[in-house]
Structure formats: structure tokens, C-alpha cells
Chain A
Amino acid sequence: DSGVTQTPKHLITATGQRVTLRCSPRSGDLSVYWYQQSLDQGLQFLIQYYNGEERAKGNILERFSAQQFPDLHSELNLSSLELGDSALYFCASSVGGQNYGYTFGSGTRLTVV
């Protein structure tokens, strides 16, 4: 157990729907990062939050949004889902905002049908 908890582990939904992925960072970590992993794209950075505030943004689609709550857990919202959104979504956390030593969760596998 890495200490980073992601729920749910698996999610199957239909095109056009909206889902929410949840991440609880490791105790003491203030930064949360979201990554998308698909077979042909590797690990793609989506967004980073540090202590509740957005810190960095990657190639995150406008249909996707995220936030980090006062208790430091984070949620990634994916809407108007398309088949191409099927992927593994990973959350990682680190102590500060400096990008050292990410700890990854075990991921949420999203399948859009």
C-alpha cells in the first residue's frame, strides 16, 4: 500500500456520461497530481494541486476538471465522456509543490462504452 488511495478501482460508463474519480493523498502530502495513462500515450500529466490551489496544468481537456478540498483529498471530474477517454487515471502525491518523490496510487481504470 503506497498510502495514496484512489477510488473506485474500476469504472464502466457510457459515452456522454460524467464520472468523478477520488484521490486521498499520503498523510502529510500537500500536493496532488493527476495523470492519464493510455496504451499509446504513456503517462500524461493532467493537473496539479498544492494545498487546495491549482499549481500546474497539463493537456487537460476542457471536459475535465479537478479540485482539491480542505482535507487535501482531490477529485477529478470527467464529463461528456468519449470512447477515447478510456484509460487508467493515476493520482500521485508529494510533500511539497516541488515535484520530488511522487507517490502514486493504484489508479482508476475507466472504460467508456
Chain B
Amino acid sequence: GENVEQHPSTLSVQEGDSAVIKCTYSDSASNYFPWYKQELGKGPQLIIDIRSNVGEKKDQRIAVTLNKTAKHFSLHITETQPEDSAVYFCAAVLTGGGNKLTFGTGTQLKVEL
């Protein structure tokens, strides 16, 4: 089955700096890679996703890049703000019936003033 590794487990940045979280996956057939943000006391919220036929996707201050050859994908947050502080999860799946979304272990991002 799929295995997703995520690094770092904790990340502390100064407000306004950029943050990068990296994930690697094991199943080369995986074709969908979402990122979730989980704030304290809440469920994970989808913030951006990318499919295997795309190398990069951007949404305002958030971007995701995918390197299929190396089987890794990254989340980039620019101009970080205190409200970006949360736990971020990457995930990977081969879409289709019977396949589960496999999550990374999470990154605790802290944006300091």
C-alpha cells in the first residue's frame, strides 16, 4: 500500500517568512495529492491539491509542487501570517474505488510575531 513521509514534524518561522513542508510517497501510481490544514479543535480542511498531470499549482500565498520522478511533493507558504499556525497534513492516493487517502504524519507550523 501507499506510504507517505512528511518533514519536518515541527516548523517555526517568523511572520512574513516562507515555509516549506515536504512529503514523499511510495506508490508511483498515486495520482492525487491534497494538503490539509488542521487548526486546534477542528477537523482537517483541504487547502490545495494537485494531480499527477500537473507540476505546480498556486493559490494566492500557497503553492504545491510535484516531482513525479522523485515521488515527492511540497507545500510552500509565502508571507506567512500568525493565522497560518496550524498542523498541516499531506496525503496521496491512487484515485478510484477501494483506494484510501494516505496521510503524512503532520507538520506543526508556528508563525512567530
A residues sitting closer than 8 Å to B (CB atoms) are: 2, 4, 33, 42-43, 45, 48, 50, 55-56, 58, 90, 92, 97-107
Contacts and interface: CB of A to CB of B under 8 A. Distances in A.
Contact of A42 (B34, B97, B103): B103
Contacts, number: 62
Contacts of A56: 97-100
B106 A42 contact: yes
Contacts of A99: 32, 93, 95-96, 99-101
Interface of B: 32, 34, 36, 41-46, 49, 89, 93, 95-106
Q: State the majority secondary structure of interface residues on B.
A: loop
Contacts of A55: 97-98
A43 B100 contact: no
Contacts of A102: 34, 44, 46, 101
14 contacts: A33-B100, A42-B103, A42-B104, A43-B89, A45-B101, A56-B99, A98-B95, A99-B32, A99-B95, A100-B32, A100-B49, A101-B34, A104-B36, A104-B43
